[in-house]
A and B are shown apart, each in its own frame.
Chain A
Amino acid sequence: MAATSPPGVGLLKGLGVTIKHLFKRPSTQMYPNERPDLPPRTRGVIALLEENCTVCMLCARECPDWCIYIDSHKETVPPAKEGGRARTRNMLDRFAIDFSLCMYCGICVEVCPFDALWWSPEFEYAEYDMDKLLHEKEKLREWADTVPPPPPLDEGALPVPEVAAAIDKVVKERELEEAKAEQAARDAELAQAAPAAAPAAAAAKAEEIHVEAGQIDQETFDALIAQGKSERMARAKAKAAYVKKEKARILAEQEAAAAAAPAAPKAEEIHVEAGQIDQETFDALIAEGKSERMARAKAKAAWVKKEKARIRAEQEAAAPAAEVAPAEVAPAEAAAVEAPPAAPAAEAAPARKLSDVHVEGSGEIDQETFDALIAEGKSERIARAKAKAAWIKKRKQEQLDAEGDA
């Protein structure tokens, strides 16, 4: 006890401290009647964002209680590109967490490399039967909707590097798209002279075409040798000349062939930061009696959706403007310019494309192609590989034709 205060003062101070609280508002949260005020990082339940799960099994292996059950099967995904390799992919069949075993350590959430597991503040899932605490992926996915956004950063804090990078990326993409749109407008103007040329938006740029520098341009080579250049130098320059010519040729081909329209950016290509909520949706959900957190989460999703729709609409509005410009300059060719947009639609009409058909090849080769390539002087290995791809392509075409006939 402090020597300065007379005996008994401490006792009175103690009474004073407690009596003060008698007149303060109790800090009790009236839980069953009111929702408790939980901090955003509350560890209520573990939610699964199924879309992000790659069945890597890290969570199940790290779980100290072994309370995560995962079942999956492999599916072969057809190659994305013509003649590419078919890939296998893990498909999630079952993801269950037994919350009667779970000790809420959060190691699974920490270890998930794909952000498929999240902490949700939901906690009202008590059961009278222990078996009912085993929750399957459908229930876990529902909880993923209740995961609140991370709390805002402190005043003056540096932005999170990942977020900053993502924002940068979006800004750059936007700029690129604007530049493309401008380019498209200019190309369209230039295209007056060549009405058959496809709209510039789809035109491939020379840099984007990759050509293997396997051959030399004989003409250039001969000319350089005649000029007295060394053979090595002449070969190098001739090679470069070949690449250049080849690119020009492919570009011309593509421009001639491509009947592509300025494709409207797809919804999934538009990236929108989920920073705001859709007040309308929020109010509606609150009115329905949903919890505030749930309503906020859904309203945010609604906002993102709306924003995407808005951006797409804007971009679509901008694209026709680019098309209309040449039409005004040369009304005669208007039909030719406007025709391309219809083309993809016509192409899309068949229910299935080549890439939709899956054909398993077990070494068969297309003899015709093989022979032709050998005759061209290709190596046997290359000829065999290409012939194999050709065989698969043919089978696919046959299958498609058969379906078409049916």
Chain B
Amino acid sequence: MNVELTASLSPAVFVPAPSAFDLDVAFGITVAIKVAFILALFLVVPLVVGYMEHKAMGRLQHRRGPVAAGPFGTLQLVADGIKFIQKEDVIPAAADRKVFALAPGLALVPAILVFLVLPFGPGVWAVDLELGLFYALAISSVSVLGVMMGGWASANKFSLIGGLRAGAQLIAYELPLILAAIAVAVQAGTLSLVGIVEAQATFTLPGTDLNLWFVFPQILGFVIFFLASLAELSRPPFDMPIADSELVFGYMTEYTGIKFAMYLLTEYAGMVSMSALMVVLYLGGWQLLPGVGLPGCEGAGGMFDCGWLGAIGGVVITLAKILILTFIMVWARVAYPRLREDQLQRLSWLVLVPLSLINLAVIAIAKVVVF
């Protein structure tokens, strides 16, 4: 294979977009700053989303939600955290102690690692991977391993069934999730999440100057991705692995205290990272409205190379979009009863997978013919 052929087949060499945290200092300090940034995001945003869920669920159910801890109950989850730490750490006698102890951590760590590639604003990301989308989907799938380990190690039939349901659910819904994401990657022409945001900022309806987010051509893909991510996260109405009316509390039945809290945190962090992925893939990232740039930004579509004002504005917009998406998840939780296990599998294999294949085919053809 000669050099020219290689050059013509392979796309331009990927140059990662620089992060705002890539300061001109020692490598170790840069890494420390990025780790601190990711941990801060990981600890704060799920807490905010959790408070929002408490409050929104309360109001949707004609209640008030938390009111006692802190002003308007804002410190409820902090109080819950303190309570979880104080709880006795019970391990069942028949449990596989090591696996039992390891499982919540194994579920939690991938939830943190997803934040590594998520762009929250212009320059506000830890690292821009060439395989960013692949990385995010692959890492988020590892969480289910922790769930299955917990279900197995608890030596409890409810836990085991919960863990197995989680595994079955992952297999069923990973497929439509990835197929929908592939359609986005095909349209954007890149797997880098920053690249996808840039592609959306510069994508115009063919024949016009009208800037569009990917949600408009791919509304079907967006709906599939949303439903599949709900199922991935075991959020109601797809919470069969927990199914408290059938399985006590599924794979979490035997867990107490801080380990239980880690599973809960995994769920909320998953809500945030999946919503952030949806924002990046379909909702134009930190763009306020299609075609509207950020103040002080010069890069593609007025979305990049910003000052600190634009960066903060971008982060605020992204977080607002995440909050709206998570609110819709809560809304669906309140409105809908849980699906039956067979209905869940039927929905995935007979509805979502064929639809996502059609979506992918249409987008691929359109990419060649129209866009």
Contact = CB atoms under 8 A, between A and B. Distances in A.
Interface of A: 11, 14-15, 17-19, 21-22, 24, 26-28, 30
A21 B64 contact: no
B58 interface: yes
Nearest to B61: A21
A14 B336 CA distance: 7
Given A15-B331, A26-B64, A21 B59 contact: yes
Interface string B325-340: 0000001101110000
Given A22-B56, A30-B67, A17 B335 contact: yes
Contacts of B87: none
A166 B63 CA distance: 47
Nearest to A14: B335
Contacts of A17: 335
Given A11-B336, A14-B336, A26 B63 contact: yes
Contact of A26 (B56, B59, B334, B335): B59
Contacts of B336: 11, 14
A21 B59 CA distance: 6
B60 interface: yes
A28 B335 contact: no
B331 A18 contact: yes
Given A22-B56, A26-B58, A15 B63 contact: no
A321 B61 CA distance: 71
Interface in B57-97: 58-64, 67
Range of interface residues on B (Cβ < 8 Å): 10 to 19
A15 B327 CA distance: 12
Interface in B317-371: 331-332, 334-336
Given A15-B335, A18-B61, A30-B67, 5 more contacts: A18-B331, A18-B335, A19-B60, A22-B60, A26-B62
Nearest to A20: B60
A167 B243 CA distance: 62
B334 A18 contact: yes
Nearest to B65: A26
A270 B92 CA distance: 73
Interface centre among A14, A18, A19, A28 (most CB of B within 10 A): A18
B332 A21 contact: no
Contacts of B64: 26, 28, 30
25 contacts: A11-B335, A11-B336, A14-B335, A15-B331, A15-B335, A17-B335, A18-B60, A18-B61, A18-B334, A18-B335, A19-B60, A21-B59, A21-B60, A22-B56, A22-B59, A22-B60, A24-B62, A26-B63, A26-B64, A27-B62, A27-B63, A28-B63, A28-B64, A30-B64, A30-B67
